[in-house]
């Protein structure tokens, strides 16, 4: 008996925790049988550590649905000729569910299903899980794929029964929200062509939903995407659409985010005066915002003073104002909430660059080496930032002790198994 390394790698590729995989397996079983499963993190641990070497019945069906491949592709032994005994009640439940799903004649009378708020709440819980996974891992293809798949599931729900106009709008908003998370994961992972495709899907779904909050998120993401692509004019145009929505006049927190991202766009375009003016306005708007107002989960999960300082750090780095960038960087790191792993790695890499450009070589190398190893090796944006840091270090302080320390650190990090 030994660890299932294949399954462990597939789990890491999707950016899922053990609890999250168990949740997806429960959803898969519900889709197959109409009844939610009771898989838990313990189930997944047994699959990973080799305690369960040949999953059968509902476990096998759920795994194959989640990963869209046969069990043998997940590192498990092929099913034996005589299947191991399984709880007969569970087996009958599973078979009955499958039979009902695929064997009922299309003309058989059925009771129309009513799509309600409980369905929307389930989608919103899944969306919150994706948001949390993004803050832990960021930019991973698995997060993008999971979010896109959940958008498809939300759309498929529309075809399963009747619903009020309000509930239909909420389901479309959920589909748009999932697709916007797929878009963000692609932006964060530097897969810009894929991000543009997700953006177009998300925009269409948002229009059908009529939800101004998700419209703001999508257009604001579009502005960030174009900024990272080096297209500041398109970035400003997209972000202007977000800032023009009426919710920015109702809630100063949304006005603040729109202004802060516009300031970062001005920084990328080299407009120092406009960037500083926009950051001042963003800070004023944040100070006016009601901290207890109801806002979407995605907004509450990330936008605060630390994120405003993160955008200021990015802008001042682009402008070459390295002392001001470092100031905002330290303030960002001091204020980041514990779950913001991806944001912490990005801010730390940027602070290191700001220190280096001011000639503080030893502190800069120490700061860069403090970026968590998993983010330094796996997150595309962080990998690129640290690569640029190394290039600039070779220019600013070649053949120095800090430069040698950094070179050795990079070699050791690459040799260390993930």
Query: Per the domain annotation, does 120 fall within a domain?
Result: yes
* 318 to 25, 265, 282: CA distances (angstroms): 44, 10, 19
Identify whether residues 125 and 73 lie together within a single domain. Answer: no
Query: Per the domain annotation, does 100 fall within a domain?
Result: no
> What is the helix, strand, coil percentage profile of the chain, to 5?
75, 0, 25
Phi and psi angles of residue 114, each rounded to the nearest 5 degrees, phi first: -110, 120
Q: Looking at residue 114, what is its pLDDT?
A: 81
What is the distance between the alpha carbons of residues 401 and 120, in angstroms, rounded to a whole number? 58
Query: Per the domain annotation, does 354 fall within a domain?
Result: no
Which of these three, 30, 49, 78, is where a domain ends? 78
Q: Looking at residue 116, what is its pLDDT?
A: 86
Identify whether residues 133 and 196 lie together within a single domain. Answer: yes
Structural contact between residues 144 and 14, judged by C-beta atoms closer than 8 angstroms? no
Q: Looking at residue 79, what is its pLDDT?
A: 62
Identify whether residues 50 and 119 lie together within a single domain. Answer: no
Which of these three, 210, 225, 251, is where a domain ends? 210
CATH of the domain at 66: 1.10.260
Residue 45: strand, helix, or coil: helix
Count CA atoms within 13 Å of residue 215 on its CB side: 18
What is the distance between the alpha carbons of residues 356 and 360, in angstroms, rounded to a whole number? 5
DSSP 291: T
Which of 172, 210, 202, 169 minimizes the C-alpha distance to 184?
202
Predicted TM-score (pTM) of this structure: 0.72
Query: Per the domain annotation, does 91 fall within a domain?
Result: no
What is the distance between the alpha carbons of residues 382 and 350, in angstroms, rounded to a whole number? 9
Sign of CA dihedral 218, 220, 222, 228: negative
User: What is the CA 214 to chain-centroid distance, rounded?
Assistant: 15
Identify whether residues 138 and 194 lie together within a single domain. Answer: yes
Query: Per the domain annotation, does 179 fall within a domain?
Result: yes
* Owning domain of residue 165: 115-210
For the chain, 418 residues long, give each residue's pLDDT as a single digit of tens.
578 888 888 777 666 778 878 877 887 777 667 677 788 888 888 888 888 888 888 888 888 877 767 888 888 887 654 444 444 444 444 444 434 444 444 444 455 678 888 889 999 999 988 888 887 777 778 889 999 999 999 999 888 888 889 999 999 999 999 999 999 999 998 999 999 999 999 999 999 999 999 999 999 999 999 999 999 999 999 999 999 999 999 999 999 999 999 999 999 999 999 999 999 999 999 999 999 999 999 999 899 999 999 999 999 999 999 999 999 999 999 999 988 888 999 999 999 999 999 999 999 999 999 998 877 777 888 989 999 999 999 999 999 999 999 999 988 876 544 3
- The domain tally of the chain equals 2
Structural contact between residues 276 and 312, judged by C-beta atoms closer than 8 angstroms? no
Query: Per the domain annotation, does 374 fall within a domain?
Result: no
Query: Per the domain annotation, does 21 fall within a domain?
Result: yes
Which of 342, 380, 8, 382 minimizes the C-alpha distance to 194?
380
Which of 362, 373, 367 minimizes the C-alpha distance to 402?
362
Burial of 184 (0-12, 13-18, 19+ CB in 10 A): buried
Query: Per the domain annotation, does 157 fall within a domain?
Result: yes
Q: Looking at residue 331, what is its pLDDT?
A: 97
Identify whether residues 203 and 120 lie together within a single domain. Answer: yes
């Amino acid at each position: 008996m030994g660890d299932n390394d294949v399954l462990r790698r597939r789990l890491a590729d999707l950016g899922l925790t053990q609890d999250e995989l168990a949740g997806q397996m429960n959803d898969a079983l519900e889709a197959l049988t109409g009844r939610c499963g009771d898989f838990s993190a313990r189930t997944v641990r047994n699959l990973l550590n080799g305690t369960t070497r040949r999953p059968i019945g509902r476990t096998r069906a759920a795994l194959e649905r989640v990963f869209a491949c046969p069990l043998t592709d997940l590192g498990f032994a092929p099913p034996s000729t005589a299947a191991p005994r399984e709880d007969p009640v569970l087996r009958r439940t599973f078979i009955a569910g499958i039979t009902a799903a695929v064997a009922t004649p299309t003309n058989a009378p059925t009771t129309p299903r009513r799509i309600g708020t409980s369905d929307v709440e389930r989608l919103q819980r899944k969306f919150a899980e994706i948001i949390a996974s993004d803050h832990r891992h960021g930019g991973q293809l698995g997060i993008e794929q999971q979010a896109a798949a959940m958008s498809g599931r939300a759309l498929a729900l529309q075809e399963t029964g009747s619903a009020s106009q309000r509930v239909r709008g909420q389901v479309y908003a959920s589909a748009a929200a999932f697709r916007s998370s797929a878009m963000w994961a692609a932006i964060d992972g530097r897969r810009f062509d894929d991000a543009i495709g997700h953006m177009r899907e998300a925009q269409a779904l948002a229009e059908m939903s009529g939800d101004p909050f998700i419209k703001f998120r999508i257009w604001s993401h579009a502005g960030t995407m174009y900024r990272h692509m080096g297209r500041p004019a398109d970035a400003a145009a997209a972000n202007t659409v977000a800032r023009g929505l009426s919710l920015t006049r109702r809630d100063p927190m949304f006005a603040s985010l729109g202004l802060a991202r516009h300031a970062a766009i001005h920084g990328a375009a080299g407009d120092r005066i406009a960037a500083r003016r926009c950051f001042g306005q963003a800070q004023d708007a944040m100070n006016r915002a009601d901290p207890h107002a109801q806002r979407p989960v995605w907004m509450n999960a990330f936008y605060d003073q630390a994120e405003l300082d993160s955008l200021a750090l990015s802008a001042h780095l682009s402008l070459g104002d390295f002392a001001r960038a470092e100031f905002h960087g330290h303030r960002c790191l001091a204020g980041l909430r514990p779950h913001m792993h991806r944001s912490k790695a990005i801010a730390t890499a940027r602070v290191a660059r700001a220190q280096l450009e001011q000639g503080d070589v030893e502190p800069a190398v120490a700061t860069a080496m403090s970026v968590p190893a998993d983010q330094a090796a796996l997150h595309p944006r962080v990998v690129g930032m640290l690569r640029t840091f190394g290039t600039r270090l070779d220019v600013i302080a070649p053949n120095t002790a800090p430069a040698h320390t950094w070179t050795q650190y990079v070699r050791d990090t690459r040799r260390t198994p993930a």
